Amino acid sequence: MSDTSDTFTIDRRSHPDQPSWAEKEEIDTFDQFVQRFWRGDISPDEFKRFRLQNGIYGQRQDGEQMVRVKIPWGGLTADQLELLAEIAAESPRGVGHVTTRQNMQFHFVKLERVVALMERLTSVGLTTREACGNTVRNVTVGHCAGVCPKEAFDVTPYADAVARYLLRNPMNQNLPRKFKIAFSGCPDDLGLTPIHDIGARGVLRVTDHKEERGFQLYVGGGLGPSPRVAQFLEEFTPCDALAPTVAAIVRVFDRLGNRDNRNLARMKFVLNKLGIEQFRKLVFQERTGLEATLAGHLPPIVGREEDRPHHGTPRPPSPSMESGDPAYLRWRVTNVLDQKQAGYAMVHVRLELGDITPIQLRTLAFASREFGDGTVRSTNQQNFVLRWVRIDRVASLHRALTAVGLAQPSAERLADITACPGADTCQLGITSSRGLADALGERFKDGLSDLADEAGIRIKISGCPNSCGQHHIANIGFYGGAKKFHGQQAPTYQMLLGASLEPGQVHYAKPVARVPAKNSPGAVEALLRLYQAERQPSESFRQFLERYGADPLKEVLKPFTELAPALEAPDRYRDFQSEEAFSVQTGPGECAA
């Protein structure tokens, strides 16, 4: 039996109406701050802090803003998708961009247009509040939550409750540094809990013949130039203790985080300084005090169990329903997964580098209503998933997605590359990470097409060491830099190999070679062909790398680490998607402002 204590109840609707994440009053306040900034009543630094707190991020292009729309646990309704389509259609790039934090971003927005954009987001319950700045950022959830055959339970409502509790909470408005929380409910840990300040994994325990829901909590994870794996905090945190425990961790970090050196301000450095035992002691003391002082004021958690939408009874697909088209059959294998609810499937909608056009957003909204439950989930792999698709309607969904270019195969496979915006828009970007991703993508359509659908290998690219592209958790990772060859500077990438997030075997990728940007696709191809030729039966890519050894791998990659003089190969000294001579052009990053 499930725990049905007064702390939380079970709601069996698929997606009960969610209260809005937005507040109209704060948009008026933002407008007032903009007017005061333009009048010179407040300094640029004061306005920057306020702007970031409200999800508006300065680009490297002077006067241009990136607007980050917060999507708690990745959930969007069809109505929200249609509004995002309208915004994308009016944005200069003509696309929305899904991030590794499950948010949606719009680039090249003028400051004078931000308030109107915020108001439109409010009309469908979305907000930009605390999507940037020294706050608790978007609370993310593995996209299979609620439909995963292996999950302990659906962690979505618990993540939702934590996100609502912390949003606009005074304890969360001026932290030493940004703070990230993720939830997973399945053993595959699609929420990526080891890389977060708080990672919560749903677990069940039985006490006195009674089944109880709770969480294993991990703390102090993070990527960036000094990556750390989250450390174990508590074996079982009951659901009714989740909110006070999260609040206690945030408060301890707020008190002890380094406010003098932002490079040492993340919570992972507090753990390094104190050690996990002392940190655990402080958190539990804080939690005891909060449970006493906030009794009756902590948010109730309404547990939820997914239930099928009213689209008729699913039936096995007949041969006439299933297409024999090779493109469909390939997509069916790589992008469609059975749900734990019999007769239904979860369908991955793979996006190229996280970008999605207005017509694609509108089609996704239509598909969610016509084939699913009226919602989608964004993923931390820069994709979307449709859930509750009847098995007998998968082929029809494929035809609808194909019409707008949303039926790309290889979702969550080797050809599905993750990349941050890099030097295209980010002030900290050194190299064009998207350009490298495009070049690699072309290889998987041509020379490496036979490996495009390989499972268990992911490529992730960042344009600088900060790991917004999550290169530390990639099987093949890259982060951008620069180096002089024959006296002339060229864009380069540090190549990292061999990450693992498997429970009990968590470790980040290790650097093996520094490769000029234009040599990087060739280095990847050489590495993958080596794996293809010499792997043993059933040997994973990670196992192959460990068996083959670091030094022999470096020898394989060595030919790709040098450049001929610029007069002989001028293109090799330019970055992807650029005709100009390369030089490092970075500005003051706002990630830690």
Kindly write down the DSSP assignment for every residue of 379-447, as one continuous string. Answer: -TTS-EEEEEEEGGGHHHHHHHHHTTT---S-TTSTT--EE--GGGT-TT--S-HHHHHHHHHHHHHTT
Listed in order, strand segments (DSSP E) in 265-354 are 301-304, 336-338, 344-349
Per DSSP, the three-state class of 562 is: coil
Q: Which of 377, 402, 427 is the last residue of a domain?
A: 402
Confidence of residue 459 (pLDDT cuts 50, 70, 90): very high
Same domain? 99 vs 152: no
User: Is 204 domain-assigned?
Assistant: yes
Q: In which domain, by residue range, is 104 found?
A: 25-123
User: Is 560 domain-assigned?
Assistant: yes
User: Is 480 domain-assigned?
Assistant: yes
Q: Which of 150, 158, 144 is nearest to 10 (CA)?
A: 158
Q: What is the pLDDT of residue 593?
A: 54
Per DSSP, the three-state class of 315 is: coil
User: Is 138 domain-assigned?
Assistant: no
Backbone angles phi, psi at 244, to 5 degrees: -65, -30
Average pLDDT, the chain: 93
- DSSP assignment string, 439-476: HHHHHHHTTTGGGTT-TT--EEEESSTT-TT-GGG-SE
Same domain? 426 vs 350: no
Q: Which CATH number goes with the domain that contains 188?
A: 3.30.413.10
Q: How far apart are CA 459 and CA 78, in angstroms?
A: 31
Confidence of residue 6 (pLDDT cuts 50, 70, 90): very low
Same domain? 429 vs 389: no
CA distances from 528 to 451, 458, 508 (A): 8, 12, 20
pLDDT 10s digits, 544-580: 999 999 999 999 999 999 999 999 999 999 999 999 9
Q: What is the pLDDT of residue 318?
A: 61
Pair of tokens at residue 377: 């989930």
∠ CA(317), CA(343), CA(17), 5° rounding?
A: 130
Same domain? 60 vs 183: no
Pair of tokens at residue 13: 């609707």
Q: How far apart are CA 191 and CA 145, in angstroms?
A: 9
pLDDT 10s digits, 433-447: 999 999 999 999 998
Same domain? 330 vs 470: no
Same domain? 216 vs 264: yes
Residue type, 361: L
Per DSSP, the three-state class of 335 is: helix
Q: How far apart are CA 451 and CA 327, in angstroms?
A: 16
Same domain? 397 vs 426: no
Same domain? 118 vs 163: no
**Which residues 6+ apart lie within 8 Å of 79 measured at CB?**
124, 365
CA distances from 549 to 487, 521, 535, 556 (A): 33, 21, 13, 11
**Which residues 6+ apart lie within 8 Å of 301 measured at CB?**
7, 8, 157, 158, 161, 239, 240, 242, 243
Q: Which CATH number goes with the domain that contains 105?
A: 3.90.480.10
Residue 503, pLDDT > 90, answer: no
Residue 147, pLDDT > 80, answer: yes
User: Is 582 domain-assigned?
Assistant: no
Domain count, the chain: 4
Please name every residue paired with 488 in a beta bridge, in sequence order, or none if there are none.
Answer: 485
Q: What is the pLDDT of residue 320?
A: 58
Backbone angles phi, psi at 499, to 5 degrees: -70, 155
User: Is 233 domain-assigned?
Assistant: yes
**Which residues 6+ apart lie within 8 Å of 399 measured at CB?**
none
Same domain? 438 vs 393: no
Q: Which of 342, 368, 402 is the last residue of a domain?
A: 402
User: Is 217 domain-assigned?
Assistant: yes
Q: Find tokens 């003051």 and name the residue.
A: 588
pLDDT 10s digits, 469-497: 999 999 999 999 999 999 999 999 999 99
Please name every residue paired with 493 in a beta bridge, in sequence order, or none if there are none.
Answer: 480, 515
User: Is 591 domain-assigned?
Assistant: no
CA distances from 44 to 95, 174, 449, 530 (A): 29, 18, 50, 53
pLDDT 10s digits, 317-354: 666 566 789 999 999 999 999 999 999 999 999 999 99
∠ CA(88), CA(352), CA(306), 5° rounding?
A: 80
pLDDT 10s digits, 293-325: 887 777 777 777 777 786 677 777 666 566 789
**CB-based contact 98:382 (threshold 8 Å):** yes
Q: What is the pLDDT of residue 51?
A: 97
Residue 380, pLDDT > 90, answer: yes
Q: Which of 430, 481, 484, 434 is nearest to 460 (CA)?
A: 434
Residue 71, pLDDT > 90, answer: yes
Pair of tokens at residue 428: 């900290």
Q: What is the pLDDT of residue 17?
A: 65
Same domain? 287 vs 161: yes
Same domain? 293 vs 166: yes
Residue 14, pLDDT > 50, answer: no
Same domain? 265 vs 360: no
Confidence of residue 3 (pLDDT cuts 50, 70, 90): very low
C-alpha distance across the termini of the chain, in Å: 48
Confidence of residue 5 (pLDDT cuts 50, 70, 90): very low
Count of CB atoms situated within 10 Å of the CB of 331: 24
Q: Which of 123, 158, 173 is the last residue of a domain?
A: 123
